[in-house]
């Protein structure tokens, strides 16, 4: 039984967090979007933008899922979506940034972040919602 009995019931849960917009020409930004309340398996990380974005090959932005760890200093990239030519975002779509065949197990208090990586001078990415699908270990 876990420390928090509410998580003893098996199954996938979803956590939602609002993510602010990333401005064009902004430096790389990292936003924590999930803290594991118990030891957990990270099954998916999804981004739903509030507006459309057209990808370009230079001066673009990469959306990266980062395992920040319990200390908040981790840098392991788990998944990404590069907004290059042909890779666009549609308003409201569920863009899976991380959906592995073998899920990541994390300890309680582990942080997962959404990073907007500046490539060149980057492009703007609208605010949106990050959704983390997870289950208790």
| Predicted confidence (pLDDT) at residue 31 exceeds the cutoff of 80 | yes
Split at pLDDT 50, 70, 90, the class of 21 is: very high
Provide mean pLDDT across the span 28-40: 97
Strands (E), 10-125: 13-19, 29-35, 40-49, 60-69, 76-82, 95-98, 104-106, 111-119
Reported as a single tens digit per residue, the pLDDT across 45-101 is 999 999 999 999 989 999 999 999 999 999 999 999 999 999 999 999 999 999 999
Domain boundaries, the chain: 12-127
State how far the Cα of 37 lies from the Cα of 16, in Å rounded to an integer.
14
| Predicted confidence (pLDDT) at residue 1 exceeds the cutoff of 50 | no
| Predicted confidence (pLDDT) at residue 115 exceeds the cutoff of 50 | yes
Let me know: does 76 contact 132? Beta carbons within 8 Å: no
Per-residue pLDDT at 10:
85
- Please give the model's pTM, rounded to 2 decimal places: 0.92
């Amino acid at each position: 039984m876990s420390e928090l009995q509410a998580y003893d019931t098996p199954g996938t849960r979803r956590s939602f967090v609002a993510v602010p917009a990333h401005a064009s020409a902004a430096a790389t930004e990292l936003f924590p979007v999930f803290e594991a309340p118990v030891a957990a398996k990270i099954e998916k990380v999804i981004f739903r933008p509030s507006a459309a974005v057209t990808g370009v090959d230079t001066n673009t932005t990469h959306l990266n899922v980062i395992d920040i760890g319990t200390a908040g200093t981790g840098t392991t990239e788990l998944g990404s979506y590069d907004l290059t030519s042909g890779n666009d975002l549609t308003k409201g779509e569920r863009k899976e940034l991380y959906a592995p065949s073998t899920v990541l197990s994390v300890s309680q208090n582990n942080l997962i972040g959404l990073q907007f990586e500046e490539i060149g001078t980057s492009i703007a990415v609208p605010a949106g919602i990050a959704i983390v699908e997870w289950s208790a270990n």
